[in-house]
Structures are given as C-alpha cells and as structure tokens.
Chains A and B, each alone.
With several copies, the nearest count.
Chain A
C-alpha cells in the first residue's frame, strides 16, 4: 500500500500535468492540492502560469493555512511574486487578459456523471433538504465562468459519485451547454483514479497503482467508460518529486487526509 501523502502528491502531479503555461489558476480556501499543482507546473513546464488569490494578503500563496498565522509573511514571500495584484472576485466574468481565472478546483458532497457538483445539501426521502452542505461559497460563479474547472474528491464512494446530484452548485457539461456556458470540467481526481470527460460524460482515464479497476467501478455510483482495461496512473517522475520537495517544504499535502483506500462506504 501507499505511504502517507503519496496519494496527495500523486494527484498534485496529475493536475500539474493538465495545467498550461497560459493558464490563470485561482484559489479559494483549502486549495492546497491545486496550489501545489500550480506551483509544480510553474517549475516544470508552465513558468508563466499565474496564480490568483481571492483571499486576503496575509494568507499568501504558500501551501497550508498561513492566513491566520503570525508568520504569514515569512514563507509566502518567495511565492507571492505571482500574486502581485489583489483580485476583485467579480472580474471572474472578464474575458480580458486580466480575467480572474481559467482553472479552479471544485469539490463537493456529490459529483455526478456529467460533472455537476453539489455543495448545498442532500435530500431526504421526503425530497426536502435533510443534510446541509457548506453552500455555494466562492465556488458557483467562479467554477461556472472558469473555462476549465477541475473536480476532486478526498474519497471515492458511491455516496459521493452519484448518477444525479440532489442540488446543482456547479453545472456539468450538458447543463453548461444548455445554458450556453463555455467549457466544462476537464478532470476529476480521487484517491483511486483519474477521470476525464467525453461527450459530456465522465470516463476513466487511469487507475492508481495501489488499487484496482474493479474497486473503482464498485465505488462509483454510475457506469464508467471505457468497458475495457485502463492504464495505471503514471507515478511522479524524479523531477516532479524534486519539485514537490520545494513547493511543499512542510509536507502539508500529507495532511489533506485523502483516503488511499477510497474511504468508508
């Protein structure tokens, strides 16, 4: 099996490989995974990638909850060069070179086959809200207007991956197309697998080395193409591993608590 942090570091590499030199990548709270991926990409193949911070300066751009610590400015300095500007969140709708972002990381209580995400709540048998979720927070507009949102989940269970979400906080491919919204989720990463989208439906791209294709299918609430075999997720390369050491000096990725076993069902 895998050591603590292996899964998080693997996913940071997987996401980094998707990021482009021209991307603007925006962060909300607890975006350590995307932040790590963006910092990796900057070092490996996307030096011009821009990090945008919706948050207050004191949070800085380092990995981890630096926002509320006295030494907030200590480590951030080295990385803050990418956040010269304090952003205005409404600029998320701008198409100019100063647009807010292209890529945003989205998690949720439920994720469905077309990539719609639910942060609002789970309905009970009576159809009314039974379990309250975190709400739309900074996600709905940013993820709707970003051209290439990326989905993630800290576990991989049929409760999380459902045929149809109870509420839609961020629309998936078909809903976006119907509303005339550009783009859609390009990737969905979990502790067990990497999914992408074809014809507006989620499909398996690779399965992590520490688990099996059957396990992934068993833990997903809807059928995943392709029917045949799926490659193993390429592990971090030497240069990726070296870069991780630099961008995550405190080993904070290991603290994200992703469930390498996929989590309780």
Chain B
C-alpha cells in the first residue's frame, strides 16, 4: 500500500507565506551561502510583513539581510550575518545594527543550537560553559551567567520559532525532506534543529519533488518530516542548494554594492535592487526570468 488516502502536503507559495503574521518568530534555513529559502523570503517581503524576529544561521546570509533591508525585521537571533569572501558583515544587518534599528540576540553557533534544543526538549534553560567570561551577558538581558558548584555557566534560554521556512534539494508530497546525497551533512543540521524547536508549521521549498518510494528506500536521508512542501526550483538563488547548485557570487556582489551604498547614505541603489528583484517580479518565475536562464544554468552542479 502506498497510502492511497494519505494527505499530500504540497502547498502554493501564497498559501505558505500567508501563514506568517506580523511580529512572528520566523526560523529560516541558510548557512552562509547555502540553502536560504529565498523565493519564500521574497514573497514574504512582497506581502510587507513587519516586526519579525528572525532565527537563522547559525551564521546567516542574504535571507536575513534582505528581510532586514526591506524593513520586515525587528530582531535577529543569529551568530552573525555575512557573505563569506564577498563581505564579512552583510550590509543591511550592519546598517541596522549600527543605527539601532534592530535588536540582536548576541550568540554564537553553539549557543544558537542549544537555545533551539532547549525549546525542542522542553527545558527552561541549558547551562553551557562556552561564552562565560565574555560580553554576551552584557549584551543579552536573557543570557546571564550563573554559578553552579563553583563553576560559571551561561544560562541559555529556549528559542522557539512560530514557523520555519527551509529550502532543500528534495522532498516528497508527504512532507519528507532530504538533502542531496552529494551534500550529506552528518548528524546535526540547523534545519532539523529549527524544525524540532518550532511550535507551528514547517514549510520547505524544494528543487524537486521526488516519489515517496525513493524516500522510503533511504530513510537515513530524511532529516525533517511532515513539512508543507512547495516545489520551487532555484528557490535558494542567489544562494546555493547543497549538492545541486553553487551560489551566484556575482549577484551577491551586486546586492552588496547596493547595500553598502545604502549604508553610506545612498539608499537609492538598494531601493533599485528591491524593485528589480523583489517588488518588480510578481512571483518566483518572473524573478528567474530577470536573473536569466543562462546564469542559472551556469550555477548548476553536476549531479553524480
């Protein structure tokens, strides 16, 4: 039996994004350049959602910076927002941080993971040695040092997203998500940590919907189940999709130039970027036309 009556969990971009309310705590996949749910992020911006708290990373990228630049964000929970070799600090993040426009929960990758685990495991806090004797307690009212049996620890509170958006290589119609075989990550993923900590729906855009049989054949590759699924090829552009496509560094440079101009008091270029790539296109297909098929082709990884 292949679950004749089993409910399929495929949704439209609109259905998916309508689930985000102003002020929500939103978890986003995206480690550095890889797997940001950009198509969904751009649709969130088009809907002009406001006051979001973004939980992304552990070290975030353009998915978070674009939302900040578009004015959708009030607070970020991340160990950093950067574009690797392109620029060590993402422009909108830096600008908002320096102007005080957003609150930043100052954490590192371990603390970020533990805060999500505390939520997933129903713990009121987790005591952690990493980060003691640093400025983190000075910067976070809710990340204080405590002493237990003469040892000092950071008291890490739970962080619980209301909704999570991911981009993955493959999913089946029942919401089983998996990485490309070529990009197997080992035993812990930010994506899984976000999904397990989430109190609400988990939505994933994927490069390709695969038959359930394929998923069943390799259960060890499924890392999140029961998600809502949207098939959005190139849905991570300009980011890469692990094992499927590499990031579009030229696009990152274009975005960064616009962002840096805005940071230095010349908002026009950043607005132009938003018009061209976010507000201009009605949907993801239009966006991909603006980017261009040849460009996208050049980013595809050869799949073994």
Residues of chain A whose beta carbon lies under 8 Å from any beta carbon of chain B:
29-30, 42-43, 47-48, 50, 54, 56-58, 65, 67-70, 77-78, 80-81, 83-98, 120-121, 128-142, 144-145, 167-171, 175-176, 178-181
Stretch at the interface among B17-25, B79-87, B282-290: B79-87
Contact of A85 among B85, B138, B176 (CB under 8 A): B176
Are the C-beta atoms of A57 and B184 separated by less than 8 Å?
yes
Contact of B84 among A58, A65, A136 (CB under 8 A): A65
Give 9 nearest A-B pairs by CB, closest first. Answer: A86-B186, A141-B130, A135-B80, A136-B108, A141-B110, A140-B108, A47-B5, A171-B133, A93-B122
Give CA–CA (A171, B137) in the complex, Å: 13
Are the C-beta atoms of A68 and B34 separated by less than 8 Å?
yes
Contact with A along B48-92 (1 / 0, CB 8 A): 000000000011000000000000000000111110110011000
* CB-based nearest A residue for B117: A90
15 contacts between A and B (CB under 8 A): A57-B184, A57-B219, A68-B84, A89-B113, A90-B120, A91-B196, A93-B120, A98-B225, A134-B80, A135-B108, A136-B109, A141-B111, A141-B130, A144-B130, A168-B134
Are the C-beta atoms of A85 and B186 separated by less than 8 Å?
yes
Are the C-beta atoms of B183 and A58 separated by less than 8 Å?
yes
Are the C-beta atoms of B7 and A179 separated by less than 8 Å?
no
* CB-based nearest B residue for A96: B198
Are the C-beta atoms of B182 and A84 separated by less than 8 Å?
no
Which among A42, A133, A138 has the greatest number of chain B C-beta atoms within 10 A? Answer: A138
B6 adjacent to chain A (CB < 8 Å): yes
Give CA–CA (A129, B103) in the complex, Å: 12
Are the C-beta atoms of B6 and A47 separated by less than 8 Å?
yes
Are the C-beta atoms of B139 and A120 separated by less than 8 Å?
yes
Are the C-beta atoms of A141 and B131 separated by less than 8 Å?
yes
Please judge, given known A-B contacts A68-B33, A97-B226, A138-B58, whether A175 and B133 are in contact too, CB under 8 Å: yes
Give CA–CA (A67, B64) in the complex, Å: 21
Please judge, given known A-B contacts A95-B122, A120-B139, A144-B131, whether A129 and B98 are in contact too, CB under 8 Å: yes
Are the C-beta atoms of B34 and A56 separated by less than 8 Å?
yes
Please judge, given known A-B contacts A88-B187, A169-B134, whether A29 and B84 are in contact too, CB under 8 Å: yes
B202 adjacent to chain A (CB < 8 Å): yes
Are the C-beta atoms of A96 and B130 separated by less than 8 Å?
no
B175 to chain A, nearest CB (A): 9
Contacts of B184 in A (CB 8 A): 57, 86
Are the C-beta atoms of A57 and B186 separated by less than 8 Å?
yes
Contacts of A30 in B (CB 8 A): 84-85
Please judge, given known A-B contacts A68-B33, A141-B128, whether A136 and B219 are in contact too, CB under 8 Å: no
B60 to chain A, nearest CB (A): 9
B294 adjacent to chain A (CB < 8 Å): no
B4 adjacent to chain A (CB < 8 Å): yes
Please judge, given known A-B contacts A56-B242, A91-B120, whether A179 and B133 are in contact too, CB under 8 Å: yes
Contact of B302 among A70, A138, A140, A175 (CB under 8 A): A70
B94 adjacent to chain A (CB < 8 Å): yes
Other than the known A137-B80, A138-B58, what 16 A-B pairs have Cβ atoms closer than 8 Å? Answer: A50-B226, A58-B182, A58-B183, A68-B33, A68-B246, A84-B219, A85-B223, A86-B220, A91-B120, A98-B225, A136-B79, A136-B106, A136-B134, A137-B108, A167-B138, A181-B132
Contacts of B89 in A (CB 8 A): 132-135
* CB-based nearest A residue for B194: A96
A142 to chain B, nearest CB (A): 7
Give CA–CA (A94, B139) in the complex, Å: 27
Are the C-beta atoms of B130 and A98 separated by less than 8 Å?
no
B301 adjacent to chain A (CB < 8 Å): yes
B114 adjacent to chain A (CB < 8 Å): yes
Please judge, given known A-B contacts A135-B79, A140-B134, A168-B133, whether A98 and B108 are in contact too, CB under 8 Å: no
Are the C-beta atoms of A170 and B134 separated by less than 8 Å?
yes
Contacts of A70 in B (CB 8 A): 246, 301-302
* CB-based nearest A residue for B228: A97
B5 to chain A, nearest CB (A): 4
B159 adjacent to chain A (CB < 8 Å): no
Contacts of B188 in A (CB 8 A): 88-90
Contacts of B246 in A (CB 8 A): 68-70
Contacts of B226 in A (CB 8 A): 50, 97-98
